Chains A and B, each alone.
Chain A
Amino acid sequence: MALSAKLDLVETTDLSVVIPVLARFDDIQKVYAEYRDTITATGRSYEFIYVIDGNMDFPIDALEQLQRGGEPIQVMRFSREFGEAACLREGVRRSTGRHLLFLPAYFQVGPGAIAELLDHLNDADVVTVRRQRSDDAIFNRLRGWGFEKVARFAGAKYNDPGCSVRAAHSSVFDEIPVQDEKQRFLPLLAEAHGFKVMQLTLAQAQSDAARPQHRLGVYMDVMLDLLAVGFLVRFMQRPFRFFGTVGAGSVVCSLLLMAFLLFQREVSNVPLSDRPMLVLVVLLLVLGIQIAAIGLIAEIIIFTRGDGKQHYRVEKIVEQVAGDA
């Protein structure tokens, strides 16, 4: 008993707020104050971790000023740009809280909505947000719609990978390390690991709408990542189901073309050897076999390297202890 009472005295931080600062940020003191007020209102103990991605224009003095004012803030700045994933990894590494809250350095959703997000941490391991874009500029809405469709195609129910507002139990990161750009798809990966994921639809913040956007290349990268992660989650166990289907499709196309050529030879007496299209037939056939072979190699890799326990997670084992009954 005495021990547990003692442990209670050691104050553990409940919530670590990780804010990666990339190219976009708003008035840092105002944003901080709004976030802090919302979190204080929920009664949780908190710390803020700002990770600045090598951005030398960023007014770091403003944060240091807050720090001197006694606010629980950690600030670190990378010497050059390493990207959002690196910021998040560093933030997660330095966090001490039992829960993590990721926020952008500007408002994507109204700060008041964050309380709602935190409430849902009680019954889910990861809470992700989808922005309600009804007031957004037409291009942003179009892009959001495009992402939703690609996400659906990739097998993801979570359809706003561009929204960096999310909350998670810190235990999630013991199992899913923050690597490369995959952190965007944390909800998808967390679900594949058997964590409970919840998606909230929150109203978009006014200032987030109609904001200057990234370059086109950034969106292309995100789309490709989304497809790659979706593929991994869906076909990790049985890669041949994917490659076999594509390969079989190619072989079928080839056979259809061949049938067409044979038909022409019989009917209009065009000799086969004069047909350049025959090359296409063989090309498709060869391609199909190649793709299937890649799938088989993938199967062999899974079979030989896959550690048997990777694909499921046991939460607990319940049994009668001897002498219990």
Chain B
Amino acid sequence: MVDVSIVVPLYNEEDNVVLLHQAISDALVDFAPSYEVVLVDDGSRDATFARAADLVALDPHVRIVKFRGNYGQTAAMAAGIQDARGDIIVTMDGDLQNDPLDIPQMVAIIYQGYDIVVGWRKKRQDGGVRVFVSQVANRIMARLMGVAVRDSGCSLKAFRAILVKQLPMYGEMHRFIPALSRLAGAKLAQIEVRHHPRRFGVSKYGFSRIYKVMLDIVSIRILLSYVRRPMAWSRFLLVGTFMLGVTALLISVTGDGLALPTLAIAVLWLSLSLFLLGWTVVGQMLASLSNKVSGYAELGARLSVGLSKQGD
């Protein structure tokens, strides 16, 4: 059994993989807890896997999970996290922009009783557009989710395994781990981490992300309120549309003569509130069919039991 698992998704990082391993080994040379490195090869088309496989022969800490195709960063992280054996899981990017020197400090904070530690790249070394996009996304996320995370795009994070193995991980959920953790009742800490400019390879991000992230935030926000109270996720809209319908109905009958457009509008709103009621019931049915919903709701209680200190 190991204490700490370091999960690194790799996609076409043939130049970085050896350097990355070197950096991790150097950073953890005086590290007391035992550790393992889980490299996830996300269907790279270059020599990433071959070079990583060489590392396995040299270093017993290293394990590789090789994907059959390219499934994206979230899938790679999810696979690495599921495969990790440590009580604490650290995730980081494979492009050397995160510095493994920050890992010991993050792990120490988890041992102090936090459930999740998020890195904050105070001095980001990326292009201006990308930093801007990320800042806007973080603002929106903080506002909508009610969780102020300075830099949720930073991949360098540490968590307790029981927390992160429970979180939903599909689509591009990895971006929402801090917010999801907080809403599950986890104790969250943020620390400043080092950030380096990219040395090799190309960044795999684009500008259209902000729009996708916004849509994702809406759906995750709804999902979470659904998880807490399966009946309540559409409550606000349901009541709102019903009131609008009633108002329009009143206007149409109290005016002189029966105003046809207003009546039509009343019918539309009222039918919408009926439909929403239907959807809500469908959602409730899905919740009663699945134990995932209740499992996620109980996560907070399990987290309140602390992690045993190293060496206990």
Contact = CB atoms under 8 A, between A and B. Distances in A.
Interface in B52-71: 52-53, 56-57, 60, 62-69, 71
A315 B66 CA distance: 6
B170 A302 contact: yes
A311 B222 contact: no
A293 B219 CA distance: 10
B170 A289 contact: no
B65 A299 contact: no
Interface string B275-293: 1100100110011011011
Contacts of B172: 238
Contact of B78 (A195, A289, A290, A312): A312
Interface in A154-178: none
Nearest to A281: B265
B275 A290 contact: yes
A308 B78 contact: yes
Contacts of A303: 168, 223, 226, 292
Interface in A280-325: 282-283, 286, 289-290, 293-297, 299-306, 308, 311-320, 325
Interface stretch (A18-26, A40-48, A271-279): A271-279
B23 interface: no
B43 A194 contact: yes
Contacts of B262: 273
Nearest to A296: B222
B286 A278 contact: no
A320 B56 contact: yes
Given A290-B272, A299-B219, A195 B69 contact: yes
A264 interface: no
A128 to B, nearest CB: 16
A240 B220 CA distance: 10
B261 interface: yes
15 contacts: A194-B67, A275-B261, A279-B264, A293-B237, A293-B276, A301-B286, A302-B170, A303-B223, A305-B289, A312-B67, A313-B69, A317-B65, A318-B64, A319-B63, A320-B60
Interface of A: 191, 193-196, 237-238, 240-241, 244-245, 273-276, 278-279, 282-283, 286, 289-290, 293-297, 299-306, 308, 311-320, 325
Interface of B: 43, 52-53, 56-57, 60, 62-69, 71, 75-76, 78-79, 82-83, 168-172, 212, 215-216, 218-219, 222-223, 226, 233-234, 237, 241, 251, 255, 259-262, 264-265, 268-269, 271-272, 275-276, 279, 282-283, 286-287, 289-290, 292-293
In the A-B complex, the 7 residue pairs with the closest CB atoms = A194-B69, A194-B68, A304-B290, A240-B219, A319-B63, A237-B171, A312-B75
